[in-house]
Amino acid sequence: MLNWEETRVVVTGGAGFLGRVVCRKLRERNCRALHVPRKADYDLTQEPDVVRMYDDFAPDVVIHLAAEVGGIGANRAHPGRFFYANLSMGLHLIEQARLRGVRKFVQAGTVCAYPKHTPVPFREASLWDGYPEETNAPYGVAKKALFVMLDAYRREYGLQSAVVLPVNLYGPHDNFDLQTSHVIPALIRKCLTAVASGQDTVTCWGTGSASREFLYVDDAAEGLVRAAEMLDTPTPVNLGSGDEITIRTLMELIADAVGFQGRLQWDPSKPDGQPRRCLDTSLAEARLGWRATTSLEEGLRRTVAWYRRQAVLSPA
C-alpha cells in the first residue's frame, strides 16, 4: 500500500473531468507532493516536454489520465489525431518512467478497447478476442498498445504498473460541447436548450437501441486511486456500475431529469456505435474492494444540477 504522505505524484490530465476528482481523493489521503502538468506548459505528445516534466516534478508515481477523446462524432472526425495523441503521450511517459525508476505507473484505459461484439457482460479476458467498434477503434487500439507496452516493461525492466478500464463516465465538470462531448452531457444540453427555447422536439443520434453502462466520476476516481494503491501488474481491471441501459431509456431519464416534456426523435442515419456495453466488475471487487455506489438516477440529478448552475453563471 502506498503511503501518499511520502509519495511524489504526477497526475496527467489532473485538471480535467476525471483528474480533478482523482486529485481531490489523493489530497483527502494526505498526498502532499501532488503535481498536475498543464497542457500550456507541457505538450505530452512531444518527448522533450515529457522529459522536462519528469525533470521538474521527479515523481514516484505517475497516474496517466490525459487523453484526447470525445463522442462518436469527434472520433469519426479525428481518428488520426486520436490515435497519434493517445499513443504518443503514453509511449513517452512510460519510457521516461522506466528510465527514471518510477515506482509505479497507472494507466487509465477505456471500454472502447473491447472488441465490437464482446459478449455481455464484458470480462477482461475478452479484451483481445477481436477488433474494436470502428468509429472509436483508433482511440481504443492506441490505449490497448499501451497495455502491451506496460506488460512488456514489467517483464523486461520490472516497471510496476496498473491498468483500469472505466466504462463511459459522466458527472459534474464533464465536457458539454455538442460537437465533442459524450452521450450524457450532449443529451442534457440538448434537452435543457429545448426547454429554454420552447422547442417541442429533441433529435438524438441513431436508433436508441444500443445499450451502454455509465459510471459516475467520483466512483471511477475512487477505483482508480485504489488501483494505484493495490495493484503492481498491468492486468486490466474493469470499473463500471454493472447496470446496462439502452440509449432510448437513458434519453427518457434525462428528459425527465431536466423537465423536457416534448417528443424525442431519433435519426437512424447517424451511427449507434458499439451495439452493447456492460462490464463484469467482479475483478475490481475482488482485487480492490471496490464497487460503484452512485445510482444513475442520482448521478444524473447531480450532473443536471451542476450544469444548470454553470448556465446561470455563463448564459452565453
Bridge partners of 214, per DSSP, are: 168
pLDDT tens readout for residues 78-110: 999 999 999 999 999 999 999 999 999 999 999
Q: Counting beta carbons within 10 angstroms of the beta carbon of residue 162, is it exposed (0 to 12), middle (13 to 18) or buried (19 or more)?
A: buried
| pLDDT grade for 271, boundaries at 50, 70 and 90 | confident
The answer to whether residues 159 and 150 touch, using CB atoms and an 8 Å cutoff, is yes
- Contacts of 247 by beta carbon, 8 Å cutoff, 6+ apart: 183, 204, 206, 208, 209, 210, 211, 212, 272
CA torsion 48-54-57-62 (nearest 10°) is 130
Nearest to 118 by CA among 289, 248, 238: 238
Position of cell 470525445? Answer: 70
**Averaged over 257-285, what is the pLDDT?**
91
For the segment 224-231, the average pLDDT, to the nearest whole number, is 98
139 is catalytic: yes
Partner residues linked to 238 by β-bridges: 165
Q: Cβ of 242: how many Cβ atoms within 10 Å?
A: 18
pLDDT, tens digit, for every residue of 134-153?
Answer: 989 999 999 999 999 999 99
Q: Express each pLDDT in 106-127 by its tens digit.
A: 999 999 999 999 999 999 999 9
Band (181; pLDDT cuts 50, 70, 90): confident
The pLDDT tens digits for 4-24 are 999 999 999 999 999 999 999
pLDDT at 313: 44
pTM, two decimals, is 0.92
Residue 266's SS3 state is strand
61-64 and 104-108 strand pairing: parallel
Catalytic residue among 139, 153, 170, 307: 139
Specify whether the CB–CB gap between 59 and 224 falls below 8 A.
Answer: no
Specify the residue for cell string 522506466.
98
Q: What is the pLDDT of residue 315?
A: 45
Q: Compute the mean pLDDT over every residue in the chain, rounded to the nearest whole number.
A: 94
In the chain, the domains with their CATH numbers are 4-170+214-242+277-293 (3.40.50.720)
For residue 220, give the amino acid letter.
A
